[in-house]
Amino acid sequence: MESYAAGEREPALLEGTIGASFERTVAAHRNAEALVEVASGRRWTWGELDRDVDALARGLLAAGLQAGDRAGIWAPNCAEWTMVQYATAKLGIVLVNLNPAYRTHELAYALDQSGLRLLFAASSFKTSDYRAMIAETRAGCPALERVVLVDTDDWAALVAEGESRPAGAVAERMAGLDPGDPINIQYTSGTTGRPKGATLSHRNILNNGFLTTELIGLGPEDRLCIPVPFYHCFGMVMANLGCTSHGTTMVIPAPGFDPEVTLRTIAAERCTGVYGVPTMFIAMLNHPTFAEHDLSSLRTGIMAGSICPVEVMRRCITDMHLAEVSIAYGMTETSPVSCQTRADDDLDRRTASIGRVHPHLEIKIVDPVSGETVERGAPGEFCTRGYSVMLGYWEDPEKTSEAIDAEGWMHTGDLAEMREDGYCNIVGRIKDMVIRGGENVYPREVEEFLYAHPDIEDVQVIGVPDATYGEELCAWVRMRAGTTPLDAAGVRAFCAGKLSHYKIPRYVRVVEEFPLTVTGKVRKVEMRERSTAELGLG
C-alpha cells in the first residue's frame, strides 16, 4: 500500500475571517474569562477583551493603516501581543511576527523585506534592549513610519487617537475582508541563507488553530496554559486561535518560559491544558519543586516543535495527569499542523508516532530523488497538501516554487515513514540524515535507544566529518543529577549487541545544555559546527 492518506471531512472548515470568528465567541461567552496575564495580574472577560481590541484597532485606523499594510510585533508573550494579533486581523493588516531573540542585522532585514509601516515592540526583555536596536536600524527602513512601545505611554497614545474614529469603523473594515487574504508573515529560521517570510491567510491559520484544538476537545470550560512563544505558530495559532475559536481561557504564565512559574501557574489557575516543546516538558518534569505543585486539574495539551522522546511522553501522562495529551507535527509553512494523535489513541500510537493526517488535508511520503510515493514502512520526504499550505514566501516566488510543487504539495524536507495503520513517524531531516560508509543513519533512532539509559536525561545525535567513512556519529548527552558522566566507551558498551555497529556513536560529549532556538528547538547545525571544531575534524 502506498504512503498516502487523506483526512476526515468533518468538522467543516471555518470559512470566515479571524475577526468574525473572534466576535462569534465574544457574543457567546461575553462574561466568561478570556485572558489572564499572570505576571501583571490582569484579567479580561471576552467582552472586555473585545472592547480593548476594538479600541486598539480604531487607533490603527487613525494611524492610517490600510488592509494589506504590514504591522510588526517584536515582544515576548504579553496581553498586548494578543490584542495586536486580533486588532490587526479585524482590519486586514498583515501581522509580521518578529523573533524576540533577533538582533539588529536580523531585525533590519525583516523590517525592510516585509515593508513594515508600524512596529509594536517591548522596550526591553532580558538582555535585549529593543528600543536601542530599533533606533540603530530604523534609518535603513524607509517604510517604517511609527514605533509603538507597548509598555510605555505610546500604547495609550495610539488608543487615544482612535477615539476620533466612529464606533462602526472597525466593523466596516471587517466587512470588506476575505478569508483568503494574507494576514500573517512568519520568518522561518533557516539554517542557510536569509530567513523566508511564510505568508499565511485567515483561512490557513484560523482553521488550523480550530482543528488542532478540536482534536484535543478544548471548550469554554477549559483553561490553557501557554508558555510557548506567541511569535511562533505554536503560540499564536495553536494556542490563541485555538482558544478563541472554542471560547477557551488563554493563560499567559510569563513573558518567557520558566519551568517553575509554568508549574505554579497551572496549579494556581487550575489549567486543564498546557502546551510545550519536549525540552519544556523535560524541564518541568525534572524541576526540583515538581512534586510541590498540584497538577491534578490537567487533562490535555499538545507537545510539538520537535520529536518527543517516548519516555518523556509516558511521564507526562503519568506524572502530569495529561491523560489526553496529543503529539502534533507540522511546520510554519503549513499553518502549522499536518498530523496529530487523537485523544482516544492507544499508548503506542500516542507515544511512538506523530499521529495521522489532519482533517481536510492530504499527506504522502515520497522518494526524495524520484518524487515517487513510497510503500508504507519505507522512509521518504513528508509532503502535505490542502487548506493549510501557505500562500507563499513573501515577495519570493523562486523560493515558493522550490517548496510548493505544481500540484500544490508542500515539500517539508522531513524524512518520515507511514505505518500500515496510516500513522506516521519522523525519522529525521533530509539534511540531518547521517551517511556513514554508505549506510543511512537516522539520528532519531539512536536518540530513542540512548534515552533508555538510566543515567541519561536527554541526548541529541549528529553527524560529524570523518576521513574514512565520510561521517561518524557524535552524541551530546545530558546526565541525570547525581550520576557519573558517560564517556564514549560507556556509550559503546551500552549499545553493543543492541545497535548495528555503524549506528553506535564514535564520539560522546557530556554537556549541561544544548544550543536552543527561542522556541526550544535544538540547533543541530550549531552542534555540528562546535563538535567539528572541538574534535579537530575540520
- Which residue carries 499553518 as its cell? 335
- Record the cell numbers describing residue 210, joined without a space: 480550530
Domain of residue 511, residue span:
432-534
DSSP string, 189-254: --SSSS-EEEEEEHHHHHHHHHHHHHTTT--TT-EEE--S-TTSHIIIIIIIIHHHTTTPEEEE--
Cβ–Cβ under 8 Å, residues 355 and 424 = yes
Q: Cell 504522502 identifies what position?
A: 364
- 176, burial (CB in 10 Å: exposed 0-12, middle 13-18, buried 19+): exposed
The amino acid occupying position 117 is R
Assigned domain for 309 exists: no
Helix axes 130-137, 104-114, angle to 10 degrees: 60
147: Cα within 13 Å, side-chain hemisphere: 20
Beta bridge partners of 424: 355, 418
Distance of alpha carbon 20 from alpha carbon 14, whole angstroms: 10
In the predicted model, residues of the chain with pLDDT beneath 70 are 189-193, 306-307, 518-519
Backbone angle region of 502, left / alpha / beta, with phi > 0 → left and psi within -120 to 50 → alpha: alpha
pLDDT > 70: what percent of the chain? 98
Q: Which three cell numbers stand for residue 350?
A: 500516542
Q: Give me the number of domains the chain comprises.
A: 1
- Residue 523 placed within a domain: yes
Tens of pLDDT, residues 410-437: 999 999 999 999 999 988 778 788 888 7
472 within some domain? yes
In this structure, is residue 184 part of a structural domain? no
Q: Is residue 93 classed as helix, strand or coil in its secondary structure?
A: coil
pTM: 0.86
Buried b (16+ CB within 10 A) or exposed e, 121-130: bbbebeebeb
The answer to the question of residue 491 being in a domain is yes
CA 151 to chain centre: 25
Residue 284 falls in which region: left (phi positive, over 0), alpha (psi -120 to 50) or beta: alpha
Query: Does some domain include residue 521?
Result: yes
Residue 338 lies in a domain: no
Which of 113, 117, 112 is closest to 65 using CA atoms? 117
Q: Give the pLDDT of residue 192.
A: 44
Chain centre to alpha carbon of residue 129 = 24
Give the Cα separation of 393 and 120 in Å (integer): 22
| Beta-carbon-side half-sphere exposure of residue 408 (alpha carbons within 13 Å) | 9
d(CA 357, CA 369): 23
CA–CA separation, 38 and 270 (whole Å): 13
Give the helix/strand (H/E) hosting 169. helix 169-175
Report whether 474 contacts 506 (CB < 8 A).
yes
The answer to whether 301 and 322 are in contact (CB under 8 A) is yes
For residues 490-504, one letter each, b for 16 or more C-beta atoms within 10 angstroms of the residue's C-beta and e for the rest, the string is ebbebbeeebeebbb
156: buried, middle or exposed (CB in 10 Å: 19+, 13-18, 0-12)?
exposed
- Going by their DSSP bridges, the two strands 223-225 and 249-252 should be labelled as parallel
Closest CA to 181 of 397, 19, 358: 19
Q: Does residue 444 fall inside a structural domain? A: yes
Strand pairing category for 94-97 and 182-188: parallel
Angle between helices 278-285 and 259-269 (to 10 degrees): 80
State how far the Cα of 409 lies from the Cα of 405, in Å rounded to an integer: 5
Q: Collapsing DSSP states into helix, strand and coil, what is residue 132?
A: helix
pLDDT of residue 191: 42
CATH of the domain at 453: 3.30.300.30
